[in-house]
Structure 1
Amino acid sequence: MDQPDSTTSTFDDFFLHCPELVFIADEGGALLRTSRALTRAMSPEVLDGGARPGLGALVHPEDRRSFDEAWGRLRAAAEPMDLVLRLKAADGSFRCFQCAARWVPEKGEAVGSLRDVEERIKSEIQLKLLRAINDHLPVCLWAIDRQGVFVLHDGKGLQSAGLKPGQFIGLNMFELYPPEGTAELRKALDGKMSYFVNEIEGVHWEAWYLPILNDRGEVTHVAGVTLDITPAKRTEQELRAKLDLIERQRQVIRSLSTPIIQVWDRVLTLPLVGMFDSARAADVMEGVLREVVRTQARYTILDLTGIEAMDTETADHLLKLTAAIKLLGAEGIITGIHPAIAQTIVGLGVDLTSIETRSTLRQGLEYCIRRMGRELR
């Protein structure tokens, strides 16, 4: 009985136990041998569908032309094949693989391997993204080990701090900065992410300290991302200044729209013009009551000559205002009511009988002078 060829047995063991995705194919691309790892990784409907499935059957339709051209050059022994392709994986999705193969003329076969490059491509994209952020945005990227020694120090934002990339590498952060300046860093060394905003020599920084953990959950390094937000802060300050200016202007406009005039000794008058809503009523009440107290006024004339329309809410504001004036020991007098407003007041059922009214501001002033004359006698 013939003994099995040890070389063949070793060859079979290699394809059975090899963890890499390796294959042998003929000149047409038909797979003669595949490692178990490759069989498990690729689409079973292709590899198990026939006695000699083709490698090309796994290739994404959009990549098939590139594969055929590269395989043709391989068969001509012109050059080895090294190409990134999308191949159909075991879960039915297409994943990126690097296909490397070499033609063996003596055997009339091609030997090759596949390597999943999805993670590599993601890592390359992440590195390119990080580099783009580092080169174009006003950020400082740095990292220290547990002892506080810088192992990374880079970023365009270093220019704002008057530093150069790599200037702090090998230096210890705890020696560069005082203890009060490293409190947030110590939190990160304890495994807690830290975020704060500070200002150093007129430059505003927004900073994140991120703990980096090993497989056992231990902090090995701390990464820092520091963003120069000085332009944003400057814009915010300018916006606040504009808002403050607008508010001051509004206050001036309010005071001009409701001028409180002392027309006689202890007699105030307030000409009301335009809309008299809740917001304006609050301003008027505050201003009038303040002036009544300041001037020790005895009478306050509310002149409605400039108001051509009135609703229940406006009338209610007037009633509240005259009531508040009365509580301060003064008397509120309403003058200049238009006929249309008088009809509206009657129609709304608002009772103004408890308030002294006059047709014109002059008549209101005469009423106040006569009353004060009687009081003096």
Structure 2
Amino acid sequence: IINISPLRSESRGDIKGVVVEGKSVEKEHYYQCLMEEILKNIHECILLTDKEGRIVYTNKEVPQKIRMSEEQLRGLSLEDIPCYSYSDDVRNKVADLVKKALSGEHVTAILRARPPEEGGEERTVKIHAAPVEIGGEISGAIIEAEDITDFEQMTEELKRTHRYYKQILDSLQNIIIMLTDADGSILYINNYAEKIFGISSEELKGKKFEDAKFFRDAEKAREHAQASVEKALRGEIVRGVEFHMHAKDGKVIHLLGYTLPFVDNGSVRGALFAAYDITEKKQMENRLRELVDRLRAAQEELMTPVVQIWDKILALPVIGVVDSYRAQKITETLLKRIAKTQAEFVIIDITGVSSMDTEVANNLLKTVKAANLLGCTCIITGIRPEIAQTMTHIGIYFHEIHTERDMQEGLKKCLEMLGYEIR
């Protein structure tokens, strides 16, 4: 058997070389020596007892932890080791562990023990005891003791961190948070999601994201969620997709979803799904859209105020700038009113029109001709001198249209054509 160990400097402790030791053993002792070497190099404390529970062997970790040599420990019962002597409760538990192991049981316990040095803090020790059988008979017990204080503290710190972040996620309002594992199974949903969908995190835990109950009436949302989680589990980020679902009370909620991969040590461990509740925003948008539509309708009505001023006579006062869009609306509105009222005359007063280009003049001429096809005569009034001059310069003549100086004269002309006598 060859054992190789580092050779350290006595003054500084640095490694100067290696020491190679070899010893010859009989074949029948080979496995015994091999096991001894294995036990010596295990980092946990290993003790062997005889069938009376007295220590017969320890690996090198035990003397380092207990501050007693193997010779000092040999022959002692486990409960008599000084670090346990301060507590009858701990001593009794250790004695019970050894007793159960010597009776053939495998037992484990978590104990609090104090190191032998003065002022040492209590440590958490995990002890496992098992019987040692030779030839079918129990000849002793093997005790494995592991100091899990650091692990316990780290675990508690992780639990505190977990509780801290869970409180943050659970306190979020108007945001749905869900976490999945690497297989797409749900691990957690926050309080807001539970409140909206009426489903607890425990009910959903372990279920595939796309199979969750809250997708029962939202196929498109289900397809989006499934595709988003699959992309996130491949390491992709899915941003800002709008969809809607049904809350537990049947109301439709609009969501803006983001899905991110949860990466740990370079590997995707799961997916984080966050959806902002934008229902109020969508409702506000719809109300604004309806308001804009009403305002636009009112504006168009003001742009083309067709008024019936006498039986079979309509008046259309036009004020302000007339562009091609407004000219088209004037034509559409006027023709509809002519058809609805069966009017025979329309007075189009353009006193308030500040300017008119070729396109608008042509549209006005087309409006007059379209009205004539419906059996309605148009009379243009209020043509200002600059507009008349402009139309003359651009070559437009209203020889096919009746014109009058102002609306009063236009109305008088219409009444005369209807057979009324004007005095």
Give TM class, smaller chain.
0.5 to 0.7
In structure 1, the partner of 2:277 is: 229
Aligned partner letter, 1:153 = Y
Q: Which residue among 393, 396, 414 is the counterpart of 1:350?
A: 396
In structure 2, the partner of 1:331 is: 377
* Aligned partner of residue 294 in structure 2, secondary structure: helix
In structure 2, the partner of 1:143 is: 180
Contact kept? 2:314, 2:347, Cα under 8 Å: yes
Q: Distance in 2 between matches of 1:319 and 1:175?
A: 65
- 159 and 296 in structure 1: CA distance in 2 versus 1, 3 angstrom threshold: same
Q: Distance in 2 between matches of 1:336 and 1:312?
A: 18
Deviation at 1:302, TM superposition (A): 0.7
* TM-score in terms of structure 2 length: 0.47
Q: Distance in 1 between matches of 2:407 and 2:201?
A: 80
Contact kept? 2:215, 2:245, Cα under 8 Å: no
Aligned partner letter, 1:246 = V
Q: Distance in 2 between matches of 1:363 and 1:371?
A: 12
Deviation at 1:287, TM superposition (A): 1.1
Contact kept? 1:157, 1:227, Cα under 8 Å: no
Q: Distance in 1 between matches of 2:215 and 2:259?
A: 16
1:120-174 deviations in whole A, cap 9, x for unaligned?
Answer: xxxx9xx99x95984675241221575x754x21446436437798534755458
- 153 and 278 in structure 1: CA distance in 2 versus 1, 3 angstrom threshold: same
Aligned partner letter, 1:140 = I
Is 1:243–2:280 an aligned residue pair?
Answer: no
In structure 2, the partner of 1:291 is: 337
Q: Distance in 1 between matches of 2:381 and 2:211?
A: 78
Deviation at 1:358, TM superposition (A): 1.2
* Aligned partner of residue 202 in structure 2, secondary structure: coil
Deviation at 1:367, TM superposition (A): 2.5
Contact kept? 2:242, 2:254, Cα under 8 Å: no
Is 1:177–2:213 an aligned residue pair?
Answer: yes
Aligned partner letter, 2:360 = T
Deviation at 1:289, TM superposition (A): 0.2
Deviation at 1:263, TM superposition (A): 2.5
Deviation at 1:317, TM superposition (A): 2.5
Is 1:265–2:311 an aligned residue pair?
Answer: yes
Aligned partner letter, 1:299 = F
Q: Distance in 2 between matches of 1:363 and 1:353?
A: 18
In structure 2, the partner of 1:44 is: none
- 144 and 168 in structure 1: CA distance in 2 versus 1, 3 angstrom threshold: farther
Aligned partner letter, 2:273 = V
Aligned partner letter, 2:339 = V
Q: Distance in 2 between matches of 1:170 and 1:340?
A: 80
Q: Distance in 2 between matches of 1:308 and 1:163?
A: 64
Is 1:282–2:328 an aligned residue pair?
Answer: yes
Q: Distance in 1 between matches of 2:331 and 2:387?
A: 21
Equivalent runs, 1:357-368 vs 2, <5 Å: 357-368=403-414
Contact kept? 1:189, 1:221, Cα under 8 Å: no
Cα RMSD between the aligned structures?
4.6
Q: Distance in 2 between matches of 1:209 and 1:341?
A: 63
Q: Distance in 1 between matches of 2:311 and 2:204?
A: 80
Moved more, 188-197 or 271-280: 188-197
For structure 1, the 5+ residue unaligned runs are 1-5, 12-23, 34-123
Is 1:256–2:302 an aligned residue pair?
Answer: yes
- 313 and 178 in structure 1: CA distance in 2 versus 1, 3 angstrom threshold: closer
In structure 1, the partner of 2:363 is: 317
Contact kept? 1:153, 1:168, Cα under 8 Å: no
* Aligned partner of residue 281 in structure 1, secondary structure: helix
Deviation at 1:248, TM superposition (A): 0.8
Q: Which residue among 163, 188, 199 is the counterpart of 2:245?
A: 199
Deviation at 1:371, TM superposition (A): 3.0
Contact kept? 2:177, 2:190, Cα under 8 Å: yes
Equivalent runs, 1:14-163 vs 2, <5 Å: 131=165, 134=169, 138-144=175-181, 146=183, 150=186, 152-155=187-190, 157-158=192-193, 160-161=195-196
For structure 2, the 5+ residue unaligned runs are 17-157
- 316 and 186 in structure 1: CA distance in 2 versus 1, 3 angstrom threshold: closer
Q: Distance in 1 between matches of 2:393 and 2:277?
A: 61
Contact kept? 2:197, 2:214, Cα under 8 Å: no
Q: Distance in 2 between matches of 1:149 and 1:332?
A: 74
In structure 2, the partner of 1:167 is: 202
Contact kept? 1:160, 1:228, Cα under 8 Å: no
Deviation at 1:270, TM superposition (A): 0.8
Matched pairs, number: 252
Q: Distance in 1 between matches of 2:261 and 2:296?
A: 50
State the identity %. Answer: 26
- 367 and 162 in structure 1: CA distance in 2 versus 1, 3 angstrom threshold: closer
Q: Distance in 1 between matches of 2:379 and 2:417?
A: 12
1:310-363 deviations in whole A, cap 9, x for unaligned?
Answer: 332332221121122122222222111122222222122222222111112222
Q: Distance in 2 between matches of 1:299 and 1:145?
A: 78
Q: Distance in 2 between matches of 1:266 and 1:179?
A: 61
